[in-house]
Homo-oligomer: A and B are copies of this chain.
Amino acid sequence: MAKVVLTPQAENFPAWYQDVVARAELADNGPARGTMVIRPWGYAIWELMQADMDRRIKATGAQNVAFPLFIPMSFLEKEKQHVEGFSPELAVVTHGGGEELTEPLVVRPTSETVINHYFAKWVQSHRDLPLMINLWNNVVRWELRPRVFLRTTEFLWQEGHTAHATYEDAVEETRRMLEVYRRFMEETLAISVAVGEKSPGERFAGADHTFTCEALMRDGKALQMGTSHNLGHNFARAFDIQYLDAGGERRHAATTSWGTSTRMIGGTIMVHGDDHGLRLPPTIAPHQVVIMQLDSEGEAARRVEAELRAAGVRTHLDDRTHTSFGRRSVDWEIKGVPVRIELGARELAAGEATLVRRDDRSKSKVPLDGAARAAIALLDEIQQALFTRSRAFREENTHPVTDFDDFTQRLGDGGLFLAAWSGTEESEQALRERTSATIRCIVDADPPAPTCLITGMPAEHTVLIGRAY
Binding site for B on A (CB under 8 A): 28, 30-32, 35-40, 43-44, 46-47, 63-72, 75, 87-98, 104-105, 107, 114, 117-118, 121, 133, 137-138, 140, 142-144, 153-154, 156
Q: In the bound complex, how far is the Cα of B28 from the Cα of A121, in angstroms?
A: 11
Interface contact A94-B97, CB-CB below 8 Å: no
Interface contact A31-B97, CB-CB below 8 Å: no
**Most-contacted residue by chain B among A30, A72, A98 (CB, 10 A):** A30
Q: In the bound complex, how far is the Cα of B156 from the Cα of A121, in angstroms?
A: 24
- State the 9 A-B residue pairs at the shortest beta-carbon distance, nearest first: A97-B142, A35-B68, A40-B63, A30-B68, A38-B66, A92-B95, A32-B70, A91-B96, A94-B94
Interface contact A154-B68, CB-CB below 8 Å: yes
Residues on B with beta carbons closer than 8 Å to the beta carbon of A97: 88-91, 142-144
Residues on B with beta carbons closer than 8 Å to the beta carbon of A142: 96-98
Residues on B with beta carbons closer than 8 Å to the beta carbon of A88: 97-98
Interface contact B138-A70, CB-CB below 8 Å: no
Interface contact A43-B63, CB-CB below 8 Å: yes
Q: In the bound complex, how far is the Cα of B143 from the Cα of A97, in angstroms?
A: 8
Q: In the bound complex, how far is the Cα of B72 from the Cα of A139, in angstroms?
A: 18
Known contacts A87-B98, A94-B92; A40/B133 CB under 8 A: yes
Chain B: CB-nearest residue to A63:
B40
Q: In the bound complex, how far is the Cα of B213 from the Cα of A182, in angstroms?
A: 46
Interface contact B71-A31, CB-CB below 8 Å: yes
Residues on B with beta carbons closer than 8 Å to the beta carbon of A92: 93-96
Contact of A70 among B90, B98, B105, B154 (CB under 8 A): B154
Q: In the bound complex, how far is the Cα of B121 from the Cα of A370, in angstroms?
A: 43
Residues on B with beta carbons closer than 8 Å to the beta carbon of A156: 66
Q: In the bound complex, how far is the Cα of B400 from the Cα of A26, in angstroms?
A: 54
Residues on B with beta carbons closer than 8 Å to the beta carbon of A107: 69, 93, 107
Residues on B with beta carbons closer than 8 Å to the beta carbon of A63: 40, 43-44
Chain B: CB-nearest residue to A30:
B68
Cβ of A124 to closest chain B Cβ, rounded Å: 14
Known contacts A93-B107, A95-B94; A117/B31 CB under 8 A: yes
Interface contact A93-B93, CB-CB below 8 Å: yes
Interface contact A32-B105, CB-CB below 8 Å: yes
Residues on B with beta carbons closer than 8 Å to the beta carbon of A68: 30-32, 35-37, 154
Q: In the bound complex, how far is the Cα of B125 from the Cα of A208, in angstroms?
A: 56
Q: In the bound complex, how far is the Cα of B89 from the Cα of A133, in angstroms?
A: 31
Chain B: CB-nearest residue to A142:
B97
Cβ of A70 to closest chain B Cβ, rounded Å: 4
Interface contact B43-A65, CB-CB below 8 Å: yes
Cβ of A399 to closest chain B Cβ, rounded Å: 36
Cβ of A25 to closest chain B Cβ, rounded Å: 9
Q: In the bound complex, how far is the Cα of B30 from the Cα of A160, in angstroms?
A: 18
Residues on B with beta carbons closer than 8 Å to the beta carbon of A98: 87-88, 90, 142
Residues on B with beta carbons closer than 8 Å to the beta carbon of A93: 91-94, 107
Interface contact B75-A31, CB-CB below 8 Å: yes
Q: In the bound complex, how far is the Cα of B144 from the Cα of A172, in angstroms?
A: 44
Residues on B with beta carbons closer than 8 Å to the beta carbon of A117: 31
Q: In the bound complex, how far is the Cα of B67 from the Cα of A35, in angstroms?
A: 8
Q: In the bound complex, how far is the Cα of B43 from the Cα of A63, in angstroms?
A: 9
Q: In the bound complex, how far is the Cα of B386 from the Cα of A340, in angstroms?
A: 48
Cβ of A4 to closest chain B Cβ, rounded Å: 22
Residues on B with beta carbons closer than 8 Å to the beta carbon of A144: 97
Q: In the bound complex, how far is the Cα of B96 from the Cα of A31, in angstroms?
A: 15
Q: In the bound complex, how far is the Cα of B43 from the Cα of A31, in angstroms?
A: 31
Residues on B with beta carbons closer than 8 Å to the beta carbon of A35: 68-70
Chain B: CB-nearest residue to A25:
B122
Q: In the bound complex, how far is the Cα of B224 from the Cα of A70, in angstroms?
A: 26
Cβ of A91 to closest chain B Cβ, rounded Å: 5
Known contacts A28-B118, A95-B92, A97-B90; A138/B71 CB under 8 A: no
Q: In the bound complex, how far is the Cα of B31 from the Cα of A137, in angstroms?
A: 18
Q: In the bound complex, how far is the Cα of B89 from the Cα of A339, in angstroms?
A: 49
